[in-house]
Amino acid sequence: MTDIFELLKGKGSEKQPVIVQGITGKFGTRHTNLMIEYGTNIVAGVTPGKGGQKFEDSVPIYETAKEAVDATGAKISIMFVPAKFFLGAAKDALEAGIKLLIAIPEHVPVQDAMKTIELAKQKGAIMIGPNTPGVMIPDLIKIGIMPASPFKFGNVAVLSKSGTLLYEISNNLSTSGFGQCITLGIGGDPINGTRLIDAFDMVKDYPNLDGIVVVGEIGGDAEEVFAQKIIDENFKKPIVAYVAGRKAPKEKRMGHAGAIVMGNYGSAESKIAMFSKANIPVAKRPVEVPILLAGKMEKK
Amino acid sequence: MRLLEYQAKELFKEYDIRIPDSIASKDIESGRKDAEKIGYPFVIKAQVPVGGRGKAGGIQKCHNEDEFELKYPQVLNMTIKGEKTRAILLEKMSEYEKEIYLSLFLNRSKRCYTIISSAEGGVEIESVKNQTIREVGLGEVTKKVAEEVAKEIGLKENSIPHFVDILQKLSKLTVEKEAELTEINPLVILKDGSMMALDGKMMTDDNSNFRHKELAKYQEKTELEKMAEESGFSLVELDGNVAVIGNGAGLVMSTLDMLTDNGGKAACFLDVGGTATTESVYEALTLISKMKNVKAVLVNLYGGIVKTSIVASAFLKAYDDKIIVLPVFARLMGAESEKSKEMLKDSETKLSPSIEEAINNVVMEVNK
């Protein structure tokens, strides 16, 4: 298991170098600037056809991820490439030796995501996403598109399928005194490089962990499998969940490619029932999350 | 996209999976010609993108012209679980010995395709007993695996080669068309042991549409859905009277849940994407203005990167341009919320500090 905290924090005082694939697009440019502003160490960009140029007169741009990695030694890449070119760019990064791939693009075909995951496994790398807002350790590193304001450093891990709900719920946690040691977007797609259970494995042994908040939504069975794992491992730290889409119609994609109920597969009822079996309270509204978490912590 | 039965069956035919004689139509004139070609008796099957049509009366046996004249319009005008009948499939009745179940689906937690099969088919998957479940990776189903599944569900010797053939073809179809689900329920066993797909269901990966121009003809979008797509929004039309707009799928779902909990009924789910801008909010209001039955608009935006005052100007512009006259109840979270409140003070947009308050207000408005 790759230690995500070690990978994000790096060793010693040097900040972990990060490259940006698709750095010159409108979206990539904007968020690269915001990440730099947050203090993330962006060392290189990749945009085919623009190799040799510089981003904002300072960050060198390369033709391929291989050139960028060779020049900088970066192990982390954040991708802003269009979904159609995702598979090619992901292969380029993984072949170049990237160990943590943050896949921002939405609308990546499922088969392309599955192929990327296969390759990542072979290379001993992790992909977070696609369709993720990214990952961050508040006050230290932000690799993603989340705004900075909702997050404060602390000891709660937040794992979320949704982007804006991650911001909303983290903001509720922060204002209630629950800072975060890590916040990680699983992504809203049917196939996730880092599944909810994988994300749990990444954070469960964090020494100062006080609790975990899971922000789920309809579709698939990630929440059910997660709850079963909590039961199987007899994990005792407080966990609180939220499930979006309780009142959504069946067999309709609700914005996210993965947010769809087919029969009972993916239904909110199924998820809430499993959470309850694992003794994980489920908030009805985002504002209830910190209240339930505080309740769980008192009981402990 | 979710293919209708007749569309899935067209693909089955293309992949040489046996189906009964059937013809699809959208009006009774063509239906009459189809009836002649097929010959009585046959079944009239409502083509709707939702399960459970049998119980709802969407499948009717038809023995003669009188029955046809009565039942065809009846089924065509049916609404099943909120879905209007899109077309009618006339299908020759088949004699068979047994109904079984077969599907291939994208197993999201295992991240591979998975076969589900059972010797007891014809009911909805939740009620299918004795399921055999087999994970098959990313590729197509091999002959060996197909044979093992056939034996496991307890098929007779004379049916095994037919089952293997159909399962392999179905997996080829699934992989090539990038489907998330292909289901034959029931798959029927005929007297001679051969098999035929009596129903068909397919759900493809919309994100791979760009690689499948051949499936574009099956795409059925309303005018509003087309408009939403052009703006990069996700729209689901619903049957209530409060239009729900927000940024990010999770946040909009959450808003819809809370609205429903409080007795409100959503007219739509409209996700303008993670980052709300003046343009996206203006376009969203334009879209809402074209919807019928909307009495009020509920907006839940989590800003962050964009200042709420920038978004607030979209509401003002929409009123100035007379795009919208409906009352809007909004919660704008993010920077400069005081300034936004000031800006919208005398407009038809009422800002609330919390989504709960905005929901209370919108429910009161539509019930007054």
pLDDT at A252 over 60: yes
Q: Taking residues A156-179, report their average pLDDT.
A: 97
Q: Which domain does A17 fall in, by range?
A: 4-128
What's the confidence (pLDDT) of residue B310? 85
Q: Taking residues A62-71, report their average pLDDT.
A: 98
| A286 in any annotated domain | yes
A287 to B354: CB separation less than 8 angstroms, yes or no: yes
Distance CA A219, CA B326 (A): 33
**How many structural domains compose chain B?**
3
Q: Quick one: closest CA in A to B174, which residue?
A: A111
A168 to B274: CB separation less than 8 angstroms, yes or no: no
Q: Taking residues A234-242, report their average pLDDT.
A: 98
Distance CA A144, CA A147 (A): 9
Residues present in chain A in total = 300
pLDDT at A83 over 60: yes
| B234 in any annotated domain | yes
Asked if the bond preceding A130 is cis, omega within 30° of 0, the reply is yes
Question: Which of B189, B214, B239 corresponds to the end of one domain?
Answer: B214
* Chain A residues 268-297 within an 8 A CB cutoff of chain B: 284-287
Same domain? B136 vs B272: no
Backbone angles phi, psi at A120, to 5 degrees: -60, -40
Structure token digits, residue B152:
């496991």
Same domain? B328 vs B230: yes
Q: Which domain does B40 fall in, by range?
A: 22-92
| B15 in any annotated domain | no
| A139 in any annotated domain | no
| A141 in any annotated domain | no
DSSP B192: T
pLDDT at A246 over 90: yes
Question: Which of A59, A94, A128 corresponds to the end of one domain?
Answer: A128
pLDDT band of A2, cuts 50, 70, 90: low
Same domain? A154 vs A293: yes
Same domain? B281 vs B206: no
| B6 in any annotated domain | no
Same domain? A260 vs A226: yes
What's the confidence (pLDDT) of residue B202? 96
Nearest to A110 among B50, B106, B248 (CB): B106
| B260 in any annotated domain | yes
A253 to B111: CB separation less than 8 angstroms, yes or no: no
Same domain? A157 vs A90: no
Same domain? A79 vs A190: no
What's the confidence (pLDDT) of residue A143? 98
Q: Which amino acid is at A271?
A: K
Nearest to B304 among A149, A161, A217 (CB): A149
User: Which chain B positions have a beta carbon within 8 Å of A146's beta carbon?
Assistant: 304
What's the confidence (pLDDT) of residue A11? 79
DSSP B140: P
Same domain? B88 vs B105: no
Same domain? B88 vs B106: no
**Contact of B123 with B86, CB cutoff 8 Å:** no
A110 to B246: CB separation less than 8 angstroms, yes or no: no
Q: Quick one: closest CA in A to B301, which residue?
A: A164
**Contact of B253 with A254, CB cutoff 8 Å:** yes
User: Which chain B positions have a beta carbon within 8 Å of A215's beta carbon?
Assistant: 250
Same domain? A239 vs A113: no
Distance CA A213, CA A211 (A): 7
Question: Which of B148, B182, B214 corresponds to the end of one domain?
Answer: B214
Same domain? A289 vs A184: yes
| A137 in any annotated domain | no
User: Which chain A positions have a beta carbon within 8 Å of B303's beta carbon?
Assistant: 147
Same domain? A182 vs A100: no
What's the confidence (pLDDT) of residue B73? 97
Q: Quick one: closest CA in A to B257, which residue?
A: A247
Q: Which of A108, A164, A175, A285 to mutate to test the interface with B (most CBs of B within 10 A)?
A: A164
Q: Quick one: closest CA in B to A151, which residue?
A: B304
| B71 in any annotated domain | yes
What's the confidence (pLDDT) of residue A1? 55
Same domain? B343 vs B240: yes
Question: Which of A61, A94, A128 corresponds to the end of one domain?
Answer: A128
Same domain? B130 vs B79: no
What's the confidence (pLDDT) of residue A214? 98
A255 to B108: CB separation less than 8 angstroms, yes or no: no
CA distance B28 to chain A (A): 28
A114 to B111: CB separation less than 8 angstroms, yes or no: yes
Same domain? A165 vs A293: yes
Task: Output the domain CATH number for residue B82.
Answer: 3.30.1490.20
B109 to A221: CB separation less than 8 angstroms, yes or no: yes
Task: Output the domain CATH number for residue A163.
Answer: 3.40.50.261
Same domain? A101 vs A228: no
| pLDDT under 50: residue ranges of chain B | none
CA distance A247 to chain B (A): 5
Same domain? B110 vs B142: yes
| A144 in any annotated domain | no
| A159 in any annotated domain | yes
| A210 in any annotated domain | yes
Same domain? B227 vs B353: yes
Distance CA A26, CA A6 (A): 31
User: Which chain A positions have a beta carbon within 8 Å of B334's beta carbon?
Assistant: 147, 149
Same domain? B205 vs B106: yes
Question: Which of A94, A128, A162 corresponds to the end of one domain?
Answer: A128
What's the confidence (pLDDT) of residue A243? 98
Question: Which of B214, B241, B265 corresponds to the end of one domain?
Answer: B214
CA distance B190 to chain A (A): 28
What's the confidence (pLDDT) of residue B265? 97
User: Which chain B positions have a beta carbon within 8 Å of A147's beta carbon?
Assistant: 303-305, 334
| B8 in any annotated domain | no
Structure token digits, residue B356:
């709960």
Task: Output the domain CATH number for residue A24.
Answer: 3.40.50.720
* Chain A residues 42-101 within an 8 A CB cutoff of chain B: 83-84
A245 touches chain B (CB under 8 A): yes
Same domain? A189 vs A278: yes
B274 to A117: CB separation less than 8 angstroms, yes or no: no
DSSP symbols for chain A: ---HHHHHH-STTSPPEEEEETTTSHHHHHHHHHHHHHT-EEEEEE-TT-TT-EETTTEEEESSHHHHHHHH---EEEE---GGGHHHHHHHHHHTT-SEEEE--S---HHHHHHHHHHHHHHT-EEE-SS--EEEETTTEEEES--STT--EEEEEEEES-SHHHHHHHHHHHHTT--EEEEEE--SSSS-SS-HHHHHHHHTT-TT--EEEEEEESSSSHHHHHHHHHHHHT--S-EEEEEE-TTPPTT---SSTT---BTTBT-HHHHHHHHHHTT--EESSTTHHHHHHHHHHHH-
B257 touches chain A (CB under 8 A): yes
Q: Which amino acid is at B184?
A: I
pLDDT tens, residue by residue, A105-163? 999 999 999 999 999 999 999 999 999 999 999 999 999 999 999 999 999 999 999 99
Same domain? A124 vs A188: no
Q: Quick one: closest CA in B to A148, which residue?
A: B304
Distance of CA A212 to the CA centre of its chain: 14
pLDDT at A208 over 70: yes
A203 touches chain B (CB under 8 A): no
Asked if the bond preceding A286 is cis, omega within 30° of 0, the reply is no
pLDDT at A299 over 80: no
DSSP B241: S
Q: Quick one: closest CA in B to A190, which residue?
A: B108
* Chain B residues 50-79 within an 8 A CB cutoff of chain A: 50-51
Q: ipTM of the predicted structure? A: 0.97
B109 to A222: CB separation less than 8 angstroms, yes or no: yes
CA distance A5 to chain B (A): 24
Same domain? B234 vs B354: yes
Backbone angles phi, psi at A259, to 5 degrees: -90, 80
* pTM listed for this prediction: 0.94
Same domain? B205 vs B131: yes
| A143 in any annotated domain | no
What's the confidence (pLDDT) of residue B306? 78
Q: Give the least confident one: A168-177, A190-199, B186-195, B309-318.
A: B309-318
What's the confidence (pLDDT) of residue B273? 86
Strand partners, A21: A46, A79
Task: Output the domain CATH number for residue B262.
Answer: 3.40.50.261
**How many structural domains compose chain A?**
2
